[in-house]
Amino acid sequence: MKSQNGRNNRYILGLNAFHGDSSACLVREGQLLAAAEEERFRRIKHWAGFPSEAIRYCLGEAGITLNDVGHVAINSDPRANLLKKIRYTLGKRPDLNLVRDRIRNIRQRAGVTDELKQAFPGQTFDGQVHHIEHHLAHLASCFLVSPFHEAVAVSVDGFGDFASSAWGAGRGASITVDERIYFPHSLGIFYQALTQYLGFPHYGDEYKIMGLAPYGEPRFIQEMREIVRLRDNGSFALDLRFFRHHKEKIDYRWRDAAPAVGDLFADALQDLLGPRRQPQEPLEQRHKDLARSVQAMYEEAFFHLLNSLHRRYGLDTVVLAGGCAMNSVANGKVIRQTPFNRVYIQSAAGDAGGALGAAYVVWQKLAGPGAARSVMDHAYWGPAYRDADFSAVLQAKASEWQGQGCTMEHIDDETTLCRRTAEAIADAKVVGWFQGRMEWGPRALGNRSIVCDPRRADMKDILNQKIKRRESFRPFAPSILREAVPDWFEADDDVPFMMKVYPIREEKRASIPAVAHVDGSGRLQTVYEQTNPRYYRLIKEFASLTGVPMVLNTSFNENEPVVCTPDEALDCFLRTKMDVLVLGQYFLIRASNV
């Protein structure tokens, strides 16, 4: 497939740029070749800006240069919903600074060609740039790589291209966007504003509310229903008295740094719920009850929408995307709370995944109705390293790890490697496990993971003391062999990307206290031999030793993005109290802990 100027059009570069979780992916003839988030290379969480290093990785993985790329697809279209924007501006007359910020953001997103030229001197891109409406990119990112031939597709997030939610139907290789919810109404803004109110101000802190919610009761649900109003057609609306984003300039930082967002809520919220919690104030029961009420309100609105969409489309399968699709607690309840019986959410459901969706929208347009589709059944699309890379890093820093009393050996046999690692886990060791290609999306899924024994009630404290240093109320997740799920969870579902929370069977909870949350639930990852044979074998070996077919899995990092390179993995190991590091087939252990 070639363009008129002779350029090969097989390669499509997808981008999420100038927003949190900046990312890039590369698609060739409908097949995903590589995908990564910029934060992994910049080492700044949720990095916002132009994803030049992620692009560099994707091109290198395919062995091409920018000259070979026929199309660039970005998950934002400045022209989308233009009449809605104009009508809102004329009718509401918001702060002029707010309007100027929007115009500046639009100009940045339009400058993709200039950004490429600056980031890749000596390389030329003379293909086409495609601006794909934000929510269409989200919907494509979940449907066009799903295992379903038809499904209801739903995108729910903060805002993108003047809309906060969209839905439609996917059939074959095409997808429709049938309806949207427009600015200023947004479930994502509701959840983010209440997260700020509860004293968690950083971009992406919403998951802390999910972790805190089970410690409370929904005593404030009536107040929440004043903030979010459900409509008869399945949609929702915010009571704007409680918010600032629609009328005032909010302090946003979206360029070459960690994203930052100023307060989204108005003083009226404190009149309704009481004084906000400051970040350093202790968590009281009131705060826990508020967190539970926020989650309950989100679920009420989310399921209200899904039930309405099931009635409208009559399909039993649903795919979810957008930042709100990262709400794994609600995702795990979809089958119980709605008539849908199958749910798919890809590993980068938030804004990073918009790069994937934008690329697939362009591919579908180029290839037409017969466009090939591939199912994303694993998340391993990032950089991988060779044995020689591990050897070089270990040799370069030999004095450092030897100085900490560590010993190292190279274990050629995979069965022996997994058995030795499983024995260390069963012996309460904290193990850094660095294998294969890095995961796409925010979850560590067995290639950039820290793995531990789920049977130890004190393992959460051990992990927080040795490495994580995070809030005690936040749970750790289990990676479980797929075939063992119904024996341990009140579910029999595929959860390859750790995107759903399910109840652990009551009789099993005492056996795995390190991964059982206070409400008896777990955010599981199902592990498959065909997609990650080494991680599967590790868990299999642990099961043969202990009778428990799972390990505790948390991300390989210490208050930073998940490690990307062997050098970063070794540095994290050396500056923490981790006991074992497995780099490919190299087994490094602190001698004092043998």
What secondary structure does DSSP assign to 423-445, as a single string? HHHHTT--EEEE-SSPBSSSS--
Q: Name the residue with higher pLDDT: 109 or 570.
A: 570
Quote the CA–CA distance of 310 and 306 in Å, as a whole number: 6
The identity of residue 587, as a single letter, is F
Phi-psi region of 565 (alpha: psi -120 to 50; beta: other; left: phi over 0): beta
The 3 state secondary structure assigned to 116-180 is HHHHCCCCCCCCEEEECCHHHHHHHHHHCCCCCCEEEEEEEEEEECCEEEEEEEEECCEECCCEE
Average pLDDT over residues 347-368: 96
pLDDT in tens, 571-593: 999 999 999 999 999 999 998 64
pLDDT in tens, 17-43: 998 999 999 999 999 999 999 999 999
Quote the CA–CA distance of 528 and 485 in Å, as a whole number: 12
Contact 295, 220 (CB under 8 A): no
In this prediction, residue 463 carries a pLDDT of: 93
Residue 361 pLDDT class (50, 70, 90 cuts): very high
Quote the CA–CA distance of 134 and 204 in Å, as a whole number: 19
For residue 107, pLDDT beyond 70: no
Helical segments of 237-383, H only: 267-273, 285-313, 328-331, 334-337, 354-367
Average pLDDT over residues 102-112: 59
In this prediction, residue 6 carries a pLDDT of: 41
In this prediction, residue 3 carries a pLDDT of: 45
Average pLDDT over residues 9-17: 93
All structural domains of the chain: 11-135+354-370 (3.30.420.40), 139-348 (3.30.420.40), 387-593 (3.90.870.20)
Strands 580-583 and 431-434: parallel
Contact 153, 203 (CB under 8 A): no
Quote the CA–CA distance of 35 and 57 in Å, as a whole number: 8
Q: List the one residue out of 318, 333, 551 whose CA is nearest residue 445.
A: 551
pLDDT in tens, 441-469: 999 999 999 999 999 999 999 998 888 78
For residue 366, pLDDT beyond 60: yes
Quote the CA–CA distance of 296 and 561 in Å, as a whole number: 30
In this prediction, residue 469 carries a pLDDT of: 80
For residue 562, pLDDT beyond 60: yes
Q: List the one residue out of 236, 158, 243 whose CA is nearest residue 197.
A: 243
Distances (CA, A) of 378 to 24, 213, 494, 525: 17, 29, 11, 11
pLDDT in tens, 115-171: 999 999 999 999 999 999 999 999 999 999 999 999 999 999 999 999 999 999 999
Average pLDDT over residues 302-319: 98
Q: List the one residue out of 245, 439, 209, 449 whose CA is nearest residue 324.
A: 209
What is the average pLDDT value for the chain, to the nearest integer? 94
Q: List the one residue out of 223, 203, 586 whose CA is nearest residue 385.
A: 586
In this prediction, residue 97 carries a pLDDT of: 56
Q: Percent of the chain beyond pLDDT 70?
A: 95
**Would you call 202 helix, strand, or coil by DSSP?**
coil
Q: Name the residue with higher pLDDT: 559 or 492.
A: 492
Residue 299's contacts (CB-CB under 8 Å, 6 or more residues apart) are 329, 330, 333, 337
For residue 402, pLDDT beyond 90: yes
Quote the CA–CA distance of 551 and 544 in Å, as a whole number: 12
In this prediction, residue 257 carries a pLDDT of: 80
For residue 80, pLDDT beyond 50: yes
In this prediction, residue 371 carries a pLDDT of: 83
Q: Dihedral through CA 69, CA 72, CA 73, CA 78, nearest 10?
A: -170
**Bridge partner list, 168:** 153
In this prediction, residue 401 carries a pLDDT of: 97
**Bridge partner list, 365:** none
Strands 228-230 and 448-452: unpaired
Quote the CA–CA distance of 260 and 544 in Å, as a whole number: 47
Contact 384, 437 (CB under 8 A): yes
Contact 513, 478 (CB under 8 A): no
In this prediction, residue 592 carries a pLDDT of: 66
